[in-house]
Structure 1
Amino acid sequence: MAIRLFIPLKTVHFTFFLLFVAGSVLAQKYPPIYLFSYFKGNGEDGLHLAYSTDGYQYQALKRDSSFLKPTVGQDKLMRDPCIIRGHDGRFHMVWTVSWKEKSIGYASSADLIHWTEQQNLPVMAHEEGARNCWAPEITYDYRSGQYMIYWATTLMGKFPETQDAAENAYNHRIYYTTTTDFNSYSPTKLLYEPGFNVIDATIQRNGDQFVMFLKDETRTPPQKNLRLAFSNSLTGPYSKAGSPITGKYWAEGPTVAKLIDLWIVYFDKYTEHTYGAVTSTDLKTWTDVSDKVSFPKGTRHGTVLTITKEELARLQKH
């Protein structure tokens, strides 16, 4: 005979409240270290890392020299490096290997210093009209136990209603594949079609929802700003993109950290050759704090994750 336990809803809510308070207390007592992975120049020399103890001021590690040289892809670049701490405890990284290839790079590490052999994942090789694979990212789905890897690609002849002759006529949408082990991958599918040229998506979990931070890449008339879309499932469907959360400047490459109860979105002000940031407590009202953040000179399209003091000490020693 099955035994069913009845737990009052108030008890459930109170339990989650206690967990939230406990998490906040621990975060204040043992504040995380924010690690920023980025590239410089065109990505020829590979992976660069910087760290911050407050989420605002970042300092380069290893005297701002490369931690990992790129070895895969025709152009052997390591642009847009995205690192996450996986459910398996390892660090998993993907990156852009070339401006014009149909693949992305992948490697993993136990300590951010020693990496597995780099792989070239042909995620768009099946599409004859694919022109590129840009800015891949990884998000883990605790519900399905899968990792989702997603990136921007232009498919020739697709979405002609938003085709623009400017900027080499690129016309991107976001595509994805899933994996549980980084050995086998699901067939590539379309993830997000917002009705405009879109690149640089990054997805964060917010309670039961998933939030996609993305760049509106529209050139005519120019947008070049960051927006948000929401979904109840990591693989979508995602809502219509909201209003811009960035200002009159051109912004790209968003990455997101949570400073206790404050969302902070870092981004590349690429025409101004500097980094900026906006903050929010509710994902609705945003404050520009670009004058409060600092990154190593020449930082390009990075992603942020948290590490421990012990992990930072190993990186500093290396």
Structure 2
Amino acid sequence: MKKITIALLVLVGLSSCVSKKAEAYLFTSFREPATDGLYLASSEDGYHWKDLGGPYLKPEAGKSKIMRDPSIVKGKNDVYHMVWTTDWKGGDGFGYASSKDLIHWSEQQYIHVMKNEPEVVNVWAPEIFYDDEQDRYIIIWASTIPFRFAKGVEEEKNNHRMYYVTTKDFKTFSDTKLFFEPGFSVIDCVLLKRAKNDYVLVLKDNTRPMRNIKVAFGKTPLGPFENISNPLTDYLSEGPTVVNLGKDWLIYYDNYGAKNYQAIRTADFKNFENVSSKIKLPEGHKHGTITTISKKTLKALIEKK
């Protein structure tokens, strides 16, 4: 019996290794001036990224017909759901489409999440998160509604807060609600789950003196998020993207002040190490998100390139 148990454990371990090797990482992206659409990059280790080119989806939703900040998540039945910024200014929503292979996409939709806010200035960088405990998708984004909140030296049209909707089917959505009000202008938030009742929000403090990346902590995916950290990155950095690599997490970000991409590594979101010298990204890569894909899907993307 002991030998059988050991053999089963070995088989489980080998199965786990095969399962892990059967997938690769995928980084969504766009290229300025954001009119082409979706670009992709792949990686075996989460550090070194190969350009898969693009566009894989040309933007049709929204008035400006652009695609910025494409955020993607692999949901149930291995269907990928993606949202993106459709307008730099103006507009009351974001774009949405889904795909099973990242090559053939559903009809694009424009989701009017701020239709009840006639004074809204923008809808920026929507981020999609699958809440496995409630079997729902949470979509968060930054918007400015002038004179709604206290501000610092920012102009009224640059005083952002985070909002959200939830959906189970991308056909019906909850009412829009305030997601995060830290008392200062905030954009580019990314939500991640470490364990049950343990969530981290990676955010950009968009106040004029700061404009850098911080983290906050909550017990539910809808917050409240508290204990905001000190800055983790340089002045003039934004667009954080997070990937879990076993015990470590990498936070990629656009260090736009220095016109480069950087990454920091952490195991506990308290201690951080800059690992920018260890990463490699395609030239022109811009703010997106990271998910996983099967080797079969990756092979099809490479053949399409």
Task: Tell me if both proteins adopt one fold, taking TM over 0.5 as the criterion.
Answer: yes
Structure 2 residue matching 1:258: 3-state secondary structure:
strand
Deviation at 1:129, TM superposition (A): 1.6
Asked whether the equivalents of residues 93 and 108 of structure 1 are also in contact (C-alpha less than 8 Å), the reply is yes
Matched, 1:305 2:294: no
Name 1:195's counterpart in structure 2. 183
Name 1:205's counterpart in structure 2. 193
User: Deviation digits for residues 194-233 of structure 1, max 9, x if unmatched?
Assistant: 11110000111101111110101110xx211111111111
- From 67, 87, 93, the equivalent of 1:98 is 87
Name 1:182's counterpart in structure 2. 170
Deviation at 1:87, TM superposition (A): 2.2
What RMSD, in angstroms, separates the aligned Cα atoms of the two structures? 1.9
- From 205, 208, 218, the equivalent of 1:216 is 205
CA distance in 2, matches of 1:175, 1:131: 13
> Which 10-residue stretch deviates more, 232-241 or 119-128?
232-241
CA distance in 2, matches of 1:51, 1:214: 24
Letter of the 1:271 counterpart:
G
Deviation at 1:89, TM superposition (A): 2.0
CA distance in 2, matches of 1:59, 1:302: 15
Distance 1:277 1:131, change over 3 A: same
After superposing on structure 2, the runs of 4+ consecutive aligned residues of structure 1 that deviate more than 4 Å are 21-25
User: Deviation digits for residues 9-35 of structure 1, max 9, x if unmatched?
Assistant: xxxxxxxxx9xx969953796264111
Name 2:281's counterpart in structure 1. 295
Matched, 1:118 2:108: yes
1:1-318 to structure 2, matched below 5 A, reads: 26=17, 30=21, 32-61=23-52, 64-100=53-89, 101-162=91-152, 164-165=154-155, 169-208=157-196, 209-219=198-208, 222-246=209-233, 248-318=234-304
CA distance in 2, matches of 1:29, 1:120: 35
Structure 2 residue matching 1:315: 3-state secondary structure:
helix
CA distance in 2, matches of 1:29, 1:119: 33
Distance 1:186 1:317, change over 3 A: same
Asked whether the equivalents of residues 213 and 254 of structure 1 are also in contact (C-alpha less than 8 Å), the reply is yes
Distance 1:87 1:29, change over 3 A: closer
Asked whether the equivalents of residues 239 and 287 of structure 2 are also in contact (C-alpha less than 8 Å), the reply is yes
Structure 1 residue matching 2:61: 3-state secondary structure:
coil
Percent identity (aligned): 44
What is the TM-score when the length of structure 1 is the normalising length? 0.87
Deviation at 1:72, TM superposition (A): 1.2
CA distance in 2, matches of 1:32, 1:290: 24
Letter of the 1:98 counterpart:
D
Name stretches of at least 5 consecutive residues in structure 1 with no aligned partner: 1-17
User: Deviation digits for residues 48-107 of structure 1, max 9, x if unmatched?
Assistant: 00111111111111xx23111001111000100011101232000000000121110000
Letter of the 2:264 counterpart:
V
Name stretches of at least 5 consecutive residues in structure 2 with no aligned partner: 1-8
Asked whether the equivalents of residues 27 and 260 of structure 1 are also in contact (C-alpha less than 8 Å), the reply is no
